[in-house]
Structure 1
Amino acid sequence: MSLLERIAVDPEVVHGRPAIRGTRMRVTDVLSLLAAGASETEILVDYPYLTAEDIRACLEYAAAQADHAIVIAS
């Protein structure tokens, strides 16, 4: 399974925001925890239903979203 296959967008789950498949944990929640300084170990202890691969999938998803061209009209 590709890491990105761990991320699901379903209008019936967390209002269609990207979430870890099979959970209601949004990608943005994981990224916010990491940005606030939480370690992977701390996240896994606090959210035992997550895996290290889920956290990496969130990072990969964020990287893919940030890597797009921006067109500026002149």
Structure 2
Amino acid sequence: MDSKQLLDRITINPEVMIGKPTIRGLRITVEQILKALAAGITVQELLEDYPELEPEDIQAVLLYAAELVSEEQVFEVGTGT
């Protein structure tokens, strides 16, 4: 599955989860999955806990997060000294 196909799995709908990015329109947010992974929950555990998820959904979440981070820009702020 290519990047576009993966990113197409991430949906944003103002009527679902107040417009937060979700997986395939389900009531499972990108944020939920990222926080679960950061807390040490394994992909296998996520797939067991959310049987509607597919392994490609987890890949899509990680790619989506990577794309957002790649767009970040950091600017040095002068101290005035």
Correspondence for 2:43 among 40, 46, 52: 40
Give the TM-score normalised by structure 1. Answer: 0.91
Aligned residue pair count:
74
Correspondence for 1:29 among 28, 32, 42: 32
Kept in 1, the 8 Å contact 2:17–2:29? The answer is yes
Give the TM-score normalised by structure 2. Answer: 0.84
Higher relative contact order (CA 8 A, sep 6+): 1
- Structure number with bigger Rg: 2
Gaps of 5+ in 1: none
Q: Does 1:62 align with 2:65?
A: yes
What's the Cα RMSD here?
1.4
Gaps of 5+ in 2: none
Question: 4+ runs of 1 displaced by more than 3 Å?
Answer: none
